[in-house]
Structure 1
């Protein structure tokens, strides 16, 4: 019960790694707000968490809309009295398009979700964290946080930017009791990776894709007191893919 009595807002919690993280947080004792755009999926996940003995509610969140993010943070306070953990897991891919190929509209949309979204959510949560003198932020990056290739121009740029944002949060607010770190998963079996050729697996020393549940265990560690001396760190979980780049 590493997160007993904690309140966690999991944005991007209605599929893939986010869903696994919401369930893992609940298993570790957290009260979870499952944030996402898909109400049907959110309701299913909440039901499954409750059936397993956990505590959860759904909040409709489009991470690009400040009012919806702010409402989700307020929901956490209204329902559970506070907010302790913010998990920024919403993200979209660019199908490996180069700077020449991607349209301005698609570029702006990807940046809105992958970079501006975590900023909006963090800005909404920070006043709660600062008032209580403690809070945890887990941003979700990618292999593309560190190297080119796992995405196209916009995606790689966005994930590099998110690492910089995480470092700056640690620099600005670490002394105020706020812990911010980045989780960088590799090739994981999620809806985002569906259709990507199995050829990718030959470059992974582990010789397999990761499981969302495996990444979720790392998300628990980063949200728990076990990682309290980690600030502004990027933690990679990719089966060893980056070491050969």
Structure 2
């Protein structure tokens, strides 16, 4: 029960790592708001959590729209009285397109989801955290946070940018009680990685893909009091893939 009585808003919580994180937070005692655009999937996850004795609700949110994000934050506060943890897990991929290949509108959409979305969510929750003098932000990066190759031009750029944003959050608000860190998962079995050739696994020292539940366990640690001296850190969980890059 490392997150007992905490309230967590999971952006991008309707599949993959976000779903696993929502369930892991609930198992650790947190009250969870699962947010995303897929209401049916959100309701399914909420039912899974409540059937196991947890507390959860769904909030339909387009993370690129500040009005919707603020409504999701307000719904969280209205339901549970406060907010302690923001998990920014929404993200989209660019199918490994180069700067020459990707269309401008696709580039803008990816940046809106992967970079602007976490900014809007942080902007919405920071007043609550600063008033309390305490709060946690967990951003979700990628192998592409550190190296080229795990995505195309837009994706790699976005994940590098998210690391910088995480560092700046820590720099600006760490002294005011806000803890901001980033998880950099590797090749994990999620809907985003479906169809990617298994040949990729040969470059991973662990010789396998990761599981969403493994990344979720790291998120629990970063959300808990155990990581309170970690600020602005990027934690890689990729089976060792980047060590040989």
- TM-score between the two structures when normalised by the length of structure 2: 1.00
Q: Aligned pair 1:24/2:24, yes or no?
A: yes
Separation in 1, partners of 2:223, 2:100: 39
User: SS at the partner of 2:117?
Assistant: helix
Q: CA deviation at 1:38?
A: 0.2
C-alpha distance after superposition, 1:18-58 (max 9, x if no partner): 00000000000000000000000000000000001100000
For 1:130, the equivalent position in structure 2 comes to 130
C-alpha distance after superposition, 1:134-191 (max 9, x if no partner): 0000000000000000000000000000000000000000000000000000000000
Separation in 2, partners of 1:61, 1:183: 22
For 1:45, the equivalent position in structure 2 comes to 45
User: SS at the partner of 1:138?
Assistant: strand
Q: Which runs of 5 or more residues in structure 2 are unaligned?
A: none
Separation in 2, partners of 1:225, 1:36: 27
Separation in 1, partners of 2:16, 2:77: 26
C-alpha distance after superposition, 1:98-151 (max 9, x if no partner): 000000000000000000000000000000000000000000000000000000
For 2:149, the equivalent position in structure 1 comes to 149
For 1:164, the equivalent position in structure 2 comes to 164
C-alpha distance after superposition, 1:183-216 (max 9, x if no partner): 0000000000000000110000000000000000
Residue-pair matches, total: 245
Separation in 2, partners of 1:29, 1:67: 29
For 2:192, the equivalent position in structure 1 comes to 192
Separation in 1, partners of 2:71, 2:228: 28
Q: Aligned pair 1:98/2:116, yes or no?
A: no
Give me the CA root mean square deviation.
0.3
Separation in 2, partners of 1:194, 1:48: 23
Separation in 2, partners of 1:21, 1:240: 22
Q: CA deviation at 1:76?
A: 1.1
Separation in 1, partners of 2:116, 2:233: 20
Q: Which piece of structure 1 moves more, 152-161 or 71-80?
A: 71-80
User: SS at the partner of 2:239?
Assistant: coil
For 2:206, the equivalent position in structure 1 comes to 206
For 1:244, the equivalent position in structure 2 comes to 244
Q: Which runs of 5 or more residues in structure 1 are unaligned?
A: none
